[in-house]
Chains A and B, each alone.
Chain A
Amino acid sequence: MTTFAVEVHQNEYLARGATDVSALVRVTATGSGGARPTAGGAEVIIVDVSGSMASPRVKIRSAIEATIAAIRCIRDGVRFAVVAGSSTAQHVYPGDGRLAVADDLTRQAAIDAVGQLRANGGTVMASWLHAADALFATEPTAIRHAILLTDGKDESPLLLEPMLEECAGRFQCDCRGIGADWEVAQLRQVASALLGDLGLVRRADELAADFTDLMERAMGKVVSDVALRIWVPQGAELTTIKQVAPGVEDLAPHRTVINERTGDYPTGAWGDESRDYHVRVKVPAREIDEEMLAARVSVIVDDATEGEGKVRAVWTADDALSTRLNPEVVRCTGQTDYADAVQSGIAALRAGDDVVATTNLGRAAQLAQALGDDAKLAEVARVVNIEDAGRGTVQLKRHVDDLDVMELDTNSTRTVRVRSSAP
């Protein structure tokens, strides 16, 4: 039985007249260990087989190998299918518009079918997602998860957007880009809309390991359709609701209105894991020594509250209290600021605005250093020459590998959490 615990990290003390309450809300699920999803799982693997996958030849071979690796990870009893995507979607396995039940026989049959794939045609992701959605519709009560692998840019963004709206909330989809010809912002849009994770696979031979990893995580999910419900008092406004770990993800666009003061934010399926959210509320100021509940954060599963955390505000005349910074909150704002700085910097780089690019990437270097995140600092250093990370002074490189820029961009929203010493 999975249980959810909600921890709130904040400095609840506000100075006179202050209205900004910031908190890090950590939700931890435990107890799913070894449990099988009660509703059963459904998995669709979507692999790009557009013409571009044929060059270099190793790309389609790697995609096939990765898909096979993923198929091997599908647990017995899970319903699954493989879809090949080009200008249209092709049902590769089982092929009759349904999902197969995983066992040794069906897994082998799927592997055989995938081995026959050839690269050909264009890239219309909307058709792939539509096919996945139709497959999942045959298992409406299952925990529905898809993996989408592509190497190119979607050719019909006008179709893609409404399709994402259509599919949002029906299944989750982790996205992987391979090579340097896909567009980070576009695939991020797909992953965000479908509550999935975005990743860049630099070398084709890394793909199988990454797919195995993704699939293992997907198979660990046992509770589906978990939502965060956030209440704020009258006169208050929820100004930020972002997941900050394991990745930075703005939840605000996913809001479902419960009532004027309460909204639900879908978080998809959970296994044993912990996720961090940055909650920021603008409240009407009160007098010194008054207390206010600034936000009530509940975990909602099947319309029942499974855990609750309280974000409080207490006004104080004591500056020593109100100016104290909560290290967890500092860290989480650092993560989101870093992602913003990187993305603004790269957008400026692409637009040829060197001044803005230098400023933002300098800020990114500074934040990465402050976060103590050496991996991020190294990623920034591949795109700019860092003169002084502490002061955020950098110089643009004369020649930059496109893949390095894409990797910096993709990973900007991924966060490494350093365990806090606090309980």
Chain B
Amino acid sequence: MTSRCRYGHESEAADYCDQCGSPIEVAVASPGPPVAAPGPPVAAEPVGPEADDAATDEVTQRSPPAPTERCPQCGTPRVEGGRYCEVDGHDFSPPAVRWWVEVTADRQRYDAEAPDGLAFPEDYLPRTFALDGEEVLIGRRAPSPPPNAIDLGGTPEDQAISRRHAVLRRTADGAYALIDCGSTNGTSLGRLPAPLEPGVAVALIDGDQIYLGAWTRIAVHATPE
């Protein structure tokens, strides 16, 4: 009987994963929902049942022959189920980094970019969103938005944001990349001189500032759990 570790590796050994050495918590063959295993506290335990589902989804998605995933650093194909690149040790799924964003109204952006007739929302309360899933849509009142979308609709509302403005896509190393969906007014990244080319992914790092619309600034955070 094989077991599966928290990183989704199949393991012949029942105590520790024989790929990454993580303690085995749940046996694959066991019926029913996964039971929280006793044992050492695991700080990086995903939050809530959704996270468990996401992990399961990832596993099911891997069953059909997926296109070979490659190391973003050196291009070496990823060994099936392997967490690290065999060549340079790049971590394909680093654990326990929580990506989240904080949306605020940015006065400087407004002063520089806003067309006439749009007021700056002095009373804007910052909103935070946890990034979760392979793709996170950033938009405003998109028709039937996915549950994990960052919907910037609602008062005060930045009218210069498109319905489907940009997407945050999870990268091979578990981080996120920003892609402009061909939005009307474009998307910028604070550290880049020019707005993003639509459809071109730019890997995000902790502390990045995304600018969109007339005054919206999205601060990107990657926090170790």
Residue positions of A touching B, CB distance < 8 A: 231-236, 260-261, 283-284, 286-294, 296, 310, 313-314
Contact = CB atoms under 8 A, between A and B. Distances in A.
B95 A292 contact: no
Q: Which A-B residue pairs are the 5 nearest by beta carbons?
A: A233-B21, A293-B16, A235-B84, A293-B21, A287-B96
Contact of B84 (A234, A287, A288): A234
Given A290-B96, A293-B21, A235 B91 contact: yes
A392 B215 CA distance: 68
B95 A287 contact: yes
Contacts of A290: 22, 42-44, 95-96
Interface string B13-42: 101111111110000000000000001111
Contacts of B17: 233, 293
Interface in B66-96: 82-84, 86, 89, 91, 95-96
26 contacts: A232-B21, A234-B20, A234-B83, A235-B20, A236-B21, A261-B18, A261-B19, A283-B21, A287-B43, A287-B44, A287-B96, A287-B225, A288-B43, A289-B41, A290-B42, A290-B95, A290-B96, A291-B22, A291-B23, A292-B20, A292-B21, A293-B22, A296-B16, A310-B15, A313-B21, A314-B40
Given A233-B19, A292-B20, A284 B225 contact: no
A173 B39 CA distance: 47
A260 B86 CA distance: 9
A235 B83 contact: yes
A21 B92 CA distance: 23
How would you classify the secondary structure of chain B's contact residues: helix, strand, loop or mixed?
Answer: loop
**Which range contains the number of B residues in contact with the other chain?**
20 to 34
Contacts of A293: 15-17, 21-23
B20 A233 contact: yes
A289 B20 contact: no
Contacts of A233: 17, 19-21
A284 B22 contact: no
B224 interface: yes
Given A289-B40, A293-B23, 12 more contacts: A234-B82, A260-B86, A286-B95, A287-B43, A287-B96, A287-B224, A289-B41, A289-B43, A290-B22, A290-B42, A290-B96, A296-B13
Contacts of B23: 291, 293
Contact of A284 (B13, B19, B84): B84
Contacts of A291: 22-23, 39-40
Contacts of B21: 232-234, 236, 283, 292-294, 313
B91 A284 contact: yes
